[in-house]
Structure 1
Amino acid sequence: MTNESPEEKPELVVDSDWKSQVEAENAAIDEKNRSEKNPSVEEEGQSQDIDPSQIPPPSFTLLVTMFSTQAMSALGLIPHPITGKREIQLALAKHYIDLLAVIDEKSKGNLDDNEDKLIETTLHELRMIYVQQSSTIA
């Protein structure tokens, strides 16, 4: 038994303002996290101006490099740009390799020696890695 008499009841203090304080703190934390994750992104629906001097000039080499980078990411050779994890996605890798093959096929006779060697070497290396990755998964 307790030492309290039946007439004495503990006083219950209710602080009704705590909920609004917690909500305000959570909103401030969420806003801070959003600004830290995307410091260069402005308000939703608005885009930032891109400095044209930072964009490489269009070229055959850039085109091959872009597709081969995507294929390498899908083969798990480089981390996925969004998740940061190495993910093997063979169907996607095959798609990018096939796109490079289409470019190779359609540009035959129109490339200089360096461009021709670049696409042939890139396709050969990506195909070998694809075969290796598909045999380890199967």
Structure 2
Amino acid sequence: MSEDKPKIIIDEDWKSQVEAEREAAKAGEPGASAPGGSNQPTDATPPAAEAAGSPDGAQDDDPPMPPASLPMLVSSLATEALMALGQIPHPMTGETIARPNLAKYLIDMVAMLKEKTADAAEPEEAQAIEDILHQLRMAFVAVQKK
């Protein structure tokens, strides 16, 4: 029966391969990889970048992201919580499915962030988090009453 078991191969050298690829990318060697190669194609320009028509390979329908910030993180969690409450449809499926346990978890995450960042957050950030948290809690209560 030992023939039926899949053979597991452990790649102990993956960290050094990643580091070598990063160094090669910094040196401006597109498609360079660590010794031993990788499963990635070695073309200098990936097909997706050619189709996008932009020099950095970003697609036209993939706008640049805003800078990372505490309010953006809280906003992302709030959006997920509203989806879990069934208040807004899922962007991929268009369905609205209430998942109260997930919503409560996400609201608790926002509350934890508020608590952990209370001393470090700017007053405007703290107020924005407080407002979002209040709105999420009220939405949660409204869904629970239905």
Q: Normalized against structure 1, the TM-score is what?
A: 0.60
Query: What are structure 2's unaligned runs of at least 5 residues?
Result: 1-39, 49-56
Q: Is residue 74 from structure 1 mapped to residue 81 from structure 2 by the alignment?
A: no
Match of 2:101, SS? helix
Task: Tell me the amino acid that sits aligned with residue 76 of structure 1.
Answer: G
Query: What are structure 1's unaligned runs of at least 5 residues?
Result: 1-44
Q: Is residue 94 from structure 1 mapped to residue 104 from structure 2 by the alignment?
A: yes
Match of 1:114, SS? helix
In the alignment, the residues of structure 2 paired with residue 78 and residue 103 of structure 1 have an alpha-carbon distance, to the nearest angstrom, of 23
Q: 2:118 aligns with which of 105, 108, 112?
A: 108
Match of 1:108, SS? coil
Change in 2 beyond 3 A, CA 1:53/1:73: closer
Q: Normalized against structure 2, the TM-score is what?
A: 0.57
Could you say which structure has the larger radius of gyration? 1
Match of 2:136, SS? helix
What is the CA RMSD across the aligned residues, in angstroms?
2.3
Query: Taking every aligned residue pair, what percent have the same amino acid on both sides?
Result: 36
Ranked by relative contact order (alpha carbons within 8 Å, sequence separation 6 or more), the top structure is 1
Deviation at 1:101, TM superposition (A): 0.8
Q: Is the helix fraction higher in 1 or 2?
A: 1
In the alignment, the residues of structure 2 paired with residue 50 and residue 90 of structure 1 have an alpha-carbon distance, to the nearest angstrom, of 36
